[in-house]
Structure 1
């Protein structure tokens, strides 16, 4: 073997060794299963509220710098009549539907943006072990339309941080449990025994539709 060929062989071996430990870029895993399977697959664990503070979930950020924070991005996206967007993301002329109580609204101040799985519930279910950056991503999740939903403000306040074992909307309960299970799956959160029992019970009378969820990274 000539000096040049030996040098090339050595270089190739060095490159192979150097790159062998590099992981391939993470790919967002997607699951697509029937509703009842999605619920059955939710891992069960006891909840722990110790150390919780809403401030540990920085929320309503303006990720794209367009002047509209997450709250307003959801209002714009969910409007049944698209509003005009003015200076400071001031919205006028829009109309919204709150599926929890089958109510329509034209004033954005009548709506809250509900974290489908409340921040405190997320903390109890695993988010206490996350970094602040991941909790911020959760609190402002625009990557899945089920994570955040515009609903009547007093209905959202009545829900608070409760899970389906203690609170359900008046309308579209099958949609609600599907979205709840999807968000828990997306963020790899656990459920407690009462919560899983409630989800399973409600799902038994719902169409066993296929639910597709992409895990968050």
Structure 2
């Protein structure tokens, strides 16, 4: 082969392609860029999800105190329907002495007012851990705002005018034990009950109005 032919052949092999498909090259470039953007977006989504999971896992649970973090206060909402006869004799007593107004849940008792055999008189009925009973009581006097009806085992209960908003037992050692109070039970009266620890020495009951002012003291 002549030298000229050899060099001509080599020159043709080293030359770049004479034509390039521009559209195909641009499409390939766009596909690469789309894959890169998709990969970045997926990585970001994973990072956000991880951050949300971590934030949720470290937040304080309601009512639990974490080191250096205030506990989130919990709110409890109690919906009261008609009381259930959970105590002995409740159903029979309620049937014998129908409520004049509503049956009030006054922990640890269920209490209601009923008409007494004597015309115009009232009965205070209660059902609790010691059983169920009803007893008559005279009307509250002009300066009386509340009265103790009876005392059971570590339980005191009684009646109060509707204007009473607080009944508190004061002990010898200075403790104050608030009563459970149900207002507007019927006949212009409310009912209250106090359950106190065994061997508690109570000195008096303090009766308060809507403004927290003491309107009566009952020595016990």
TM superposition score normalised by structure 2: 0.27
- Structure with the bigger percentage of strand: 2
More RCO (CA 8 Å, sep 6+) = 1
Tell me which structure has the larger Cα radius of gyration.
Answer: 2
